[in-house]
Structure 1
Amino acid sequence: MFAAVTLLVFMCLTATSHADHHQPCHTPNMTGLMSVITLKGEVKAFGAFSYDSMGKKLRFRSNESYPTNTSIGLDLLMFFDEGVFYEIDTKNQSCEKKALQCTLHPLDVPDEATYLSTLNIGSSSIEGEGLKVNIWTGSMADSKGKYSMSVTMGCLPVSTFYMCESSSFLISIMDIETEIKDPDLLLVPSLCQGQPLEETPEGTVNSFLNEFM
């Protein structure tokens, strides 16, 4: 299955025809589930997210509400406009505040993304058995990689495939609801308040995606 995904994305990224009149859309507020899987089939993370599209805030909690046998347990709170994020460990009552160098993430189409094509996932001829999506592609300047993102006609993300020098992985979005169910999740927790900004080691790029590399 993962070989097929790789082939499909490669074909999308190497296609030469696209429609210039398409402009990247921007997603609404969302609550849902997110999974991160490598091409070898390793589940890197699976958990719940809340996303504030106007405030550019994201909370992702892996292995908390939905425990799975994954290699990474994360609780991330990211403020993309402010350029900072928090790594939260509620169990140990600890929190780290770090600078955010890259704002690329799988829940919104970047402004510089290139429209590639419109595809039907499933069947377009059988009622209720198909989903039309737009495919957007682009480059990851910080890691010299590429991405291919599929979103619905209503601009809800379905999946994003990232191909980087160090690793490649697929992020899938499920059970989306176009609201923020718990706004408190996007507030800085009390255990993080007053935390100093940690120094970023030279050569380190902090981003949502780098948490899985």
Structure 2
Amino acid sequence: MYAAISLFVLACLTAASHADHHHPCHAPNMTGCMTVINRKGEVRGYGSFTYDSMANKLRFRSNESHPANTSLGLDLLMFFNEGIFYEIDSKNQSCEKKALHCTMHPLDIPNDAKSYGIINSGNPSIEGEGLKLNIWAGSMRGVKGHYVMSATMGCLPLSSLYFTESTSFIISNMDVELEIKDPDLLVVPSYCQGLPVEETPEGTVHSFLNEFM
């Protein structure tokens, strides 16, 4: 795990000398799978996601059948523009509605991200064996930390590394399709509608990333 992270960061730093400092792109609509692994190698989250890039909405549902007992059971519906999110318990048909204190997430490159140029993953001289990646980096909002994100030339985020004072973790996206396959997943369930926003305990920060810290 550490070796993979070190190699990735080294590649990013090497690419920095070739950076063109262009503005970040924004990802398209997506449906796929997401894995979150911390620096101890524990799977903190594994499941499916649906992302509406225009409305900036994200649904993440962890796969309870994943064998790793460190994986968190989550069903999150995030409304980043509105600054709220829902923790959903579909089995018991209940929800918690909370305020979002940070809108950063691994499916969108922040507007203030710095470009570290382009790197080639694999062998670009062999057809189908190479992949060009844009590398972006910056400071995390709300906490002392930094991130490094890789995205395809079509602005499809592949992986994101997050480093804070207390932890670090990598989020990887797989089996991505450029469409919203089930729009109903981005609609607040009927049993969640009309709920008030819960009070946030002092010192607590709610965000998509904080759910895995």
Secondary structure of 1:17 counterpart: helix
Alignment of 1:168-179 (within 5 A): 168-179=168-179
Report 1:137-156 matches (<5 A). Answer: 137-156=137-156
Q: Partner of 1:26 in structure 2? A: 26
* Structure 1, unpaired ranges of 5+: none
Report the identity percentage: 67
Q: Please say if residues 113 and 137 of structure 2, whose CA atoms lie closer than 8 Å, have aligned partners that are also in contact.
A: yes
Name 1:6's counterpart in structure 2. Answer: 5
Partners of 1:125 and 1:14 in 2: CA distance: 20
Show the 5 A alignment for 1:34-53: 34-53=34-53
Task: For residues 121-144 of structure 1, give each alpha carbon's deviation from its aligned partner in whole angstroms, at most 9, with x where no partner exists.
Answer: 111111111111000001013121
* Counterpart secondary structure, 1:191: helix
Q: CA deviation at 1:169?
A: 0.5
TM-score normalised by the chain length of structure 1:
0.93
**Structure-1 separation of matches of 2:181 and 2:98:** 26
SS at match of 2:191: helix
Q: 2:20 touches 2:116 (CA, 8 Å); kept in 1?
A: no
Aligned mates of 2:15, 2:121 — CA distance in 1: 18
Residues 125 and 20 of structure 1: CA distance in aligned 2, closer, same or farther (over 3 Å): closer
Q: CA deviation at 1:13?
A: 5.5
Amino acid at match of 2:113: A
- The one-letter code sitting in structure 1 at the alignment partner of 2:33 is L
**CA offset digits 1:108-159 (Å, max 9, x no partner):** 1110000002111111111111111000001013121100000000000110
Quote the residue 1:110 is aligned against. Answer: 110
Hey, what's the Cα distance between the residues in 2 that align with 1:186 and 1:5? 34
2:60 corresponds in structure 1 to 60
Q: Please, what is the CA RMSD of the aligned residues?
A: 1.6
Shift of 1:69: 2.3
| Equivalent residue number for residue 199 of structure 2 | 199
| Residue type at the aligned position of 2:36 | V
Where structure 2 has 5 or more consecutive residues not aligned to the other structure, the ranges are none
8 Å CA contact 2:152, 2:158 repeated in 1: yes
The count of corresponding residues between Structure 1 and Structure 2 is: 211
Distance 1:70 1:121, change over 3 A: farther
Alignment of 1:17 with 2:24, yes or no, is no
Displacement of 1:10: 3.9
